[in-house]
Amino acid sequence: MRIYCIECNSSVGIMDKVYTCPKCGGLLDVEYDYDVLAETVPKSWFSRPLGVWRYGELLPILNRTLRVSIGEGGTRLVHCRRLGEKLKLKNLYVKDEGSNPTGSFKDRGMTVGVTKALEFNVKNLICASTGNTSSSLAAYAAKAGLNCIVLIPSGKIALGKLAQAVIYGAKVLAVKGNFDDALRLVVELSSRPEFYLLNSLNPYRLEGQKTAAFEIYEQLGNRAPDWLIIPVGNAGNISAYWKGFEELSLLGLSNLKPKMIGVQSKGANPLVRAFKENRDPTPLTEVETIATAIRIGNPVNWRKAMKAVRKSNGLFEDVNDEDIVKAQRTLAKTEGIFTEPAGAAPIAYLIRHRDDDLIDRDEVVVCVATGNGLKDPDTAIRFSEKPVEVEADSRSILNYLRGLS
């Protein structure tokens, strides 16, 4: 196993507590001896339950006895026949990441990142968050008996996520600024020895997140999808999925790699702009979207994400808030999957681009529903029909129902 800089390729020691390259500031990544691993996997996986730790050989943990786990991964891959019919797609699937222990994909990364914190013997875990990272980190810190400090953009995180962070015992600081300000602050603080940073700048977290790609491969009967559509904020998750699919190919398990479609919100779309204008992204200081999870103007993992999208022959695209709200409801009403607004962005993309000829009706398409809808009850209620008050007798209920038809 080697930790290296994606810019200058210099190596970093496996026990060096750094988040970016000490030489050039580039993002770090982890590589394994794929030729050796190809001898043992996937046979070694079969005896283990579906989930992050099934893929232990491809995780950067030296001491597995320290593992901090609350049952992450192993989420459903739902064949969406009813929604697929509407969208003229025979093989539409949703990876339901909202069914992770704290209700989002972040748990995949935190089980690895917090285990790493125990290896490093640090006591104070810190992150900036639009909500889900903080919920997840707070839970894993609680399980590990470590302190957790989270910085959130004041007034801009969904209620359920705040409730989770506080109930799991995190110290929650509401920063008068946006997510990008909060991230800048935690990066500054984490240069101090007493803190350990668990944002997606942390390469170990993304190692956990890539396991969703392995699961999809197995759940599809040992094949990668033709398309993977995923919401993008700080751009860590799309990078992690791509890495997972690349590793399957390096291990000789899959020749096919999906084309990646990264979906941002129109009000927070730095990568879409950069992609369309074929340039590096410029940070956006004013960002706004109903999908608060992806309300991010300066994605730290943009280099990895841009590479993933380009290498895969995919694209970045944006959707507006109205599309997101509509997609959220459509997914819930056709498939019984309630995802938060950000998690509905891939479906919003498909609805909006239904008549493009980009995706063939027989191709296998996987949308990642990244977070559980219960995290943001306010938005769901705001855009839904209000409950109707009736008298407590069946006649008035029947009268009301007759009036509807």
Which stretch, 47-55, 68-76, 235-243, 313-321, contacts ligand F0G (CB under 6 A)?
235-243
DSSP letters, 46-81, are: TTS-SSGGGGGGGS--S-GGG---S------EEE-H
Strand order in the sheet with 195-197: 171-175, 147-153, 124-128, 195-197
Of the two residues 59 and 127, which places its CB atom closer to ligand F0G in the complex? 127
Which stretch, 128-136, 137-145, 189-197, 249-257, contacts ligand F0G (CB under 6 A)?
128-136
| Shortest spacing between CB 227 and ligand F0G, in angstroms | 17
| Shortest spacing between CB 209 and ligand F0G, in angstroms | 8
Of the two residues 83 and 293, which places its CB atom closer to ligand F0G in the complex? 293
Task: Tell me how far the alpha carbon of residue 322 is from its chain's centroid.
Answer: 22
Q: Which of 102, 124, 129, 202 binds ligand F0G (CB under 6 A)?
A: 129
| Shortest spacing between CB 43 and ligand F0G, in angstroms | 31
CA distance 346 to 370: 10
CA distance 270 to 218: 33
Residue with tokens 């009813």: 82
- Measured in residues, the chain has a length of 405
Parallel, antiparallel, or unpaired for β 227-231 and 171-175? unpaired
Q: Are 230 and 134 in contact (CB under 8 A)?
A: no
Of the two residues 111 and 234, which places its CB atom closer to ligand F0G in the complex? 234
- 343 is an interface residue for ligand F0G by CB under 6 A: yes
> Residue 325: what are its φ and ψ, rounded to 5°?
-65, -40
Q: Which of 115, 237, 289, 379 binds ligand F0G (CB under 6 A)?
A: 237
Parallel, antiparallel, or unpaired for β 227-231 and 259-265? parallel
- Tell me 371's DSSP state: B
CA distance 209 to 68: 15
Joined together, the tokens standing for residue 305 give: 């994400």
Of the two residues 162 and 359, which places its CB atom closer to ligand F0G in the complex? 162
- 292 is an interface residue for ligand F0G by CB under 6 A: no
- Alpha helix locations (H) across 88-210? 106-120, 132-144, 159-167, 179-189, 203-209
Site for ligand F0G, residues 21 to 80, rule: CB under 6 A: none
Of the two residues 246 and 376, which places its CB atom closer to ligand F0G in the complex? 376
Q: Which of 91, 132, 289, 328 binds ligand F0G (CB under 6 A)?
A: 132
Of the two residues 208 and 371, which places its CB atom closer to ligand F0G in the complex? 371
If we measure between CA atoms, which residue out of 176, 115, 172 comes closest to residue 148? 172
Per-residue binding string, ligand F0G, 181-210, x by CB under 6 A, is -------------------x----------
Of the two residues 211 and 237, which places its CB atom closer to ligand F0G in the complex? 237
Site for ligand F0G, residues 345 to 404, rule: CB under 6 A: 370-371
- 294 is an interface residue for ligand F0G by CB under 6 A: yes
| Number of residues this chain uses to bind ligand F0G (CB under 6 A) | 21
Task: Tell me how far the alpha carbon of residue 299 is from its chain's centroid.
Answer: 13
Of the two residues 41 and 232, which places its CB atom closer to ligand F0G in the complex? 232
Q: Which of 138, 158, 232, 261 binds ligand F0G (CB under 6 A)?
A: 232
Of the two residues 110 and 365, which places its CB atom closer to ligand F0G in the complex? 110
DSSP letters, 99-123, are: GSTTSBTHHHHHHHHHHHHHHHT--
Of the two residues 293 and 327, which places its CB atom closer to ligand F0G in the complex? 293
CA distance 197 to 90: 42
Site for ligand F0G, residues 83 to 122, rule: CB under 6 A: 104
Which stretch, 74-82, 141-149, 213-221, 232-240, contacts ligand F0G (CB under 6 A)?
232-240
Joined together, the tokens standing for residue 28 give: 């770090």
Residue 399: CB partners within 8 Å, gap ≥ 6? Answer: none
Joined together, the tokens standing for residue 330 give: 């459509």
SS (H, E, C) 72-101: CCCCCEEECHHHHHHHCCCEEEEEEHHHCC
| Shortest spacing between CB 138 and ligand F0G, in angstroms | 11
Which stretch, 70-78, 88-96, 315-323, 340-348, contacts ligand F0G (CB under 6 A)?
340-348
Of the two residues 122 and 240, which places its CB atom closer to ligand F0G in the complex? 240
Binding site for ligand F0G (CB under 6 A): 104, 129-133, 200, 231-237, 293-294, 340, 342-343, 370-371
